[in-house]
Chains A and B, each alone.
Chain A
Amino acid sequence: MNEQLKYLNDALKKESGIKYQLQLHKWQTDFFRFYQSQTNYNISKDLIALSAELYKGKKPYSFSIDSPDQAKIDSALKTALEMIDHMPEDPDFVDLEDDLTLAEPKDIPNNINEISLDKKTAILSRLAKIAGEHDFELFGTFICNFESDHLINSNHLDKISMQSPIYLEVKAVHRKTQVTVLETFGGEDFGYFDEEQFSRNLLAKIKFAQNSIVDVEPGEYEVILAPRCVAEFAQYLAYGMSAFAIDRRSSFFEGKLDSKVFPEIFSLTDDPNDPELIHCDYGDGGHIYRPLKLIDKGYFRAFMCNNYFHHKLGLPKNGNQGNCLSIAPGSSTLEKMISKVKKGLYISSLHYMNFINPKETSLTGLTRDGTFLIEDGKITKVVNNLRFTEKIARIFENVVELEDTAKSIPFSGNYADFSVRTTKAPHARIARFNISSSTRTI
């Protein structure tokens, strides 16, 4: 056990009547940013943080210490013990996590060491050459993280987990038209990265991006959503499957457990064991993270619920947080799906989505990184980026076909400590999708 974690744990064991959870978080990143097919920055960052969540009866108090040492711990603990008696109670608190199940041990290499900066720039140089031949420049990020968490609590929970996410995002932007296309790789095992396939995918998109640019009128369109879009809509939908949303009275799924909410072809699982996804060992509070069927053949089957809300709301608890979402593939191919569209849109990626009303799943957002017109079963033109105003529930109610393979899509968490997670999704054909306005730009 880390010296500082042990020191705080030993000190708290001596305090009677205090329940506690301690977490030692170590995090490193090597974050390569590139633009116009050249380096912008390579950023190396690291941190070690020790956080403590204490309860005296139902009175809570939390603190965190960056780069902890014994003097900082002594000071923070002294303040905490002086303060906690003065805190108001949280009547909904019952106890800390008591699930002591350990995850299967995994060998997690540090991808920061495995994928050097020179290796990254060599890959990008080759991709830049291919894109440059078609008058496109590359923009994006190539990120490797390594993080470990050691969680202990006063219920004898003692768990360590590690992750080393990789996130490669390459945007090819046409030098004159600014038409943009996107290709990504995400996961923990760089062995799954096939540079030749990645180049072929990027090049295929670059070729579509050389078509003429048109605008389309607002209205309902049949659309093919790329895996990235399906994945992102699923992430937003999953908010309503959380106990937190139930507690806030803002869940679409309230009162819908075991009800049919979507067509039979739609199934959604939170699966930490999928080797193509960034894995999760434990959920919030340290509960073991196991596969959980959320939507099974169209039926809503479970809420994601941590220990706190389990006690408050009476829902069954699990470690799931929607970090490893996976939408089951269907039986079609992308080519067949496109061939069935008389007039519609292919949407590559989404931008700046925000709920209007989470209980209704209504939201607005935009397309980006390649929106294309489909005419008579073929992609024919580039379309300006478009705004949609939709209900996610309606989008998935209108799924008519899914691709026979699902792809792991990386997403970065950019509003707090930098993190990467993945969601797996196939292409989807949606019968009706509401475009509310055009951006008139690419």
Chain B
Amino acid sequence: MEHKIKQIISKLDSPDISFADVRITFTDYESIFFMNGNLRGYTSSKVSPAIGIRVLIDGCFGFAGSKDLSDASISRLIARAKSNAIHGAKFQKEKLTFPALPATIGEYIHKPEIDPFLMPQEEKLEYFKKLAELIKPQGKIVNSHVAAEFERQEKFYANSEGSYSHTVVYNTLPLMGVVAADAGGIQSRTWPGHMSAGRAGFELFHQQQFMENTQRIIKEATDLLTAPTISEEKADIIIGAGHLALQLHESVGHATEADRIFGQEISFAGKTFVKPSMLGKFKYGSDILNIYSDSTDPKGMGYHPLDDEGVPGKRVDIIKNGILVNQQTSRHIAHKLGLEPSSNMRASFADDIPLVRMSNFCIAPGKGSLQDLIADTEHGYLLDFTKTWSIDDNRNNFQFTTEIGYKIKDGKITGIVKEPTYFGITPEFWNACDAICGEEEWGYQSTFNCGKGEPGQVMRLSHGVAPARFKNINVRVKI
């Protein structure tokens, strides 16, 4: 395939093309879904191919992608990408440009502990069957599910600057959940929450202790049916790592994607309140807040030796001691902003255009355990396990509901609350952060499903986080 992709690049070597890149991916995918103890769906797709060709002509990108890798298809795609650039350039005021980068070669072959595509199928199905049986409807539980998605993606990248990379990665998404109902309504609990994915194989199910947590979610969903709601207007909240990953994702990660500043994602994903003039000055969060984008850590799903426009992986500070210092950029936008590109251009599959995307987007750890933090909290709530999320067009006003809240009084958990909902304004909220747990609580929380772009793409990415506390947050919402 290395020969093939370099051959395509050589066909794009012409004076009118100022930059070109080609990506080829092969993806294995398997999904398993049990509902109420029974298998409802098993789907498999093997070695699904995709190719994308991008050319820059007359200051305008043209792109063509397909699942067909035949020679005839490749010739057609080259012609179409060129035509798209040439015709697109007719409706352009500003020619797109960026500085050249030195050629870089990269390779990464990831090997999971348990390859989900090679392990005995009977063993895999037996595990899920047992798990589904443990949480099937019982007592007030009226619905349950166990879901797994496994993915293996091999990717080849080459560009007209001589850069080339070859990677193989495995990603896994595990989830289980139950719904409890009585005459008063329904409540749900999932495990381990909605940021449950990881750069791993089947071993992720064992690491996340699914079997050990079945009774916990059944009990908590049932107890939530009769639990009170939060009665205070404002409270101190500790946010668990799983949900904090989403808070970070929505209100800092997307907000610092620089393509939003120029309106490139305005019609679907939206804009951002962040402006170029804020760099180096804007107090985004409290002094203890340090946030970085890191595509150099292979433990996260955002790792890559090269991004999808040939920028070597790198770690970039985004917020340093609470101050906004950088953004996630493409080569073009970095050039416009006078920055170095941050290695954040990624596409879900080869036939998708690369977009500014989070890679491993992390909060640096602070000090102490979660137990220490709870013990240090006089009155408040520990919130975790995302239920509902929503944030505005500019990433400034958010509102989240978690599945459960644990009431804290005098440093101890004293009960639970249902549908805890909090809302706030992004910089005010991050400036209210007064404690972040330490290394011992820090880990990657990852998702398969970050939606962005048109045509839509869902990206696999990770957040390194530890639980953190936020003071005096709005927790009362009339529903």
Give me the interface of A with B, judged by CB distance under 8 Å: 29, 31-49, 59-67, 72, 75-76, 79, 83, 86-92, 117-118, 121, 124-125, 137, 139-141, 143, 169, 171, 173, 178, 180, 247-250, 351-357, 359-360, 362-366, 368, 385, 387, 389, 391, 412-416, 418, 434, 436-442
Contacts and interface: CB of A to CB of B under 8 A. Distances in A.
Given A36-B262, A436-B478, 9 more contacts: A36-B93, A42-B84, A43-B353, A44-B84, A66-B50, A79-B44, A88-B34, A248-B143, A366-B390
27 contacts: A38-B93, A42-B85, A42-B88, A44-B77, A45-B65, A46-B65, A63-B46, A64-B43, A67-B67, A76-B44, A83-B121, A88-B129, A90-B38, A140-B266, A140-B267, A173-B266, A247-B143, A351-B392, A363-B388, A414-B455, A415-B458, A418-B456, A436-B423, A439-B397, A439-B425, A441-B392, A441-B393
A365 B390 contact: yes
B292 interface: no
Interface string B437-479: 0000000000001010111101000000000000000100111
Contacts of B263: 35-36, 137, 139, 173
Residue with the greatest number of chain A CB neighbours at <10 A, chosen from B43, B88, B401 = B88
A347 to B, nearest CB: 13
B185 interface: yes
B399 interface: yes
A169 B264 CA distance: 14
Contact of A389 (B62, B391, B399): B399
A66 B27 CA distance: 10
A87 B33 CA distance: 12
A39 B262 contact: no
B85 to A, nearest CB: 8
A13 B423 CA distance: 57
Contacts of A357: 185-186, 419, 479
A76 B185 contact: no
Contacts of B63: 41-44
Nearest to B270: A351
B48 interface: yes
Interface in B51-107: 60-69, 77, 80-81, 83-85, 87-94
B387 interface: yes
A125 B41 contact: no
A439 B396 contact: yes
A371 B390 CA distance: 18
A440 B424 CA distance: 11
A171 B46 contact: no
B294 to A, nearest CB: 26
Given A83-B121, A413-B456, A248 B179 contact: yes
Interface in B114-139: 121-122, 125, 129
Given A39-B92, A413-B456, A86 B387 contact: no
Nearest to A80: B44
Contacts of B66: 45-47
Contact of A412 (B129, B454, B474): B454
B142 interface: yes
B421 interface: yes
A391 B186 contact: no
Interface in B397-442: 397, 399, 401, 419, 421, 423, 425
B41 A364 contact: no
Given A357-B186, A436-B399, A38 B94 contact: yes
A413 B457 CA distance: 11
A78 B307 CA distance: 37
Nearest to B389: A354
A416 B448 CA distance: 12
A66 B49 contact: yes
A318 to B, nearest CB: 21
Given A139-B266, A250-B179, A356-B387, A37 B93 contact: yes
B394 interface: yes
A353 B186 contact: no
Given A44-B80, A88-B125, A364-B388, A62 B38 contact: no
A35 B390 contact: no
Contact of A354 (B42, B390, B394, B455): B390
A42 to B, nearest CB: 4
A48 B421 contact: no
Residue with the greatest number of chain A CB neighbours at <10 A, chosen from B84, B142, B266, B270 = B266
Q: Top 6 closest A-B pairs, CB basis?
A: A414-B456, A439-B397, A418-B455, A39-B88, A121-B91, A42-B84
B479 A34 contact: no
B38 A89 contact: yes
Contacts of A366: 390-393, 397
Contact of A117 (B61, B87, B264, B393): B87
A113 to B, nearest CB: 13
Contacts of A90: 38-40
A34 B60 CA distance: 12
Contacts of A89: 38-39
A389 B478 contact: yes
A175 to B, nearest CB: 11
Residue with the greatest number of chain B CB neighbours at <10 A, chosen from A49, A117, A416 = A117
A438 B267 contact: no
Contact of B392 (A62, A413, A439): A439
B181 interface: yes
B387 A415 contact: no
B371 interface: no
B389 to A, nearest CB: 6
B88 A414 contact: no
A64 B44 CA distance: 7
B454 A141 contact: yes
A3 to B, nearest CB: 15
B45 A352 contact: no
Contacts of B143: 247-249
A434 B455 contact: no
Contacts of A418: 454-456
A264 B372 CA distance: 58
Given A38-B93, A60-B41, A353 B390 contact: yes
Residue with the greatest number of chain B CB neighbours at <10 A, chosen from A48, A91, A351 = A351
Contacts of B48: 64-66
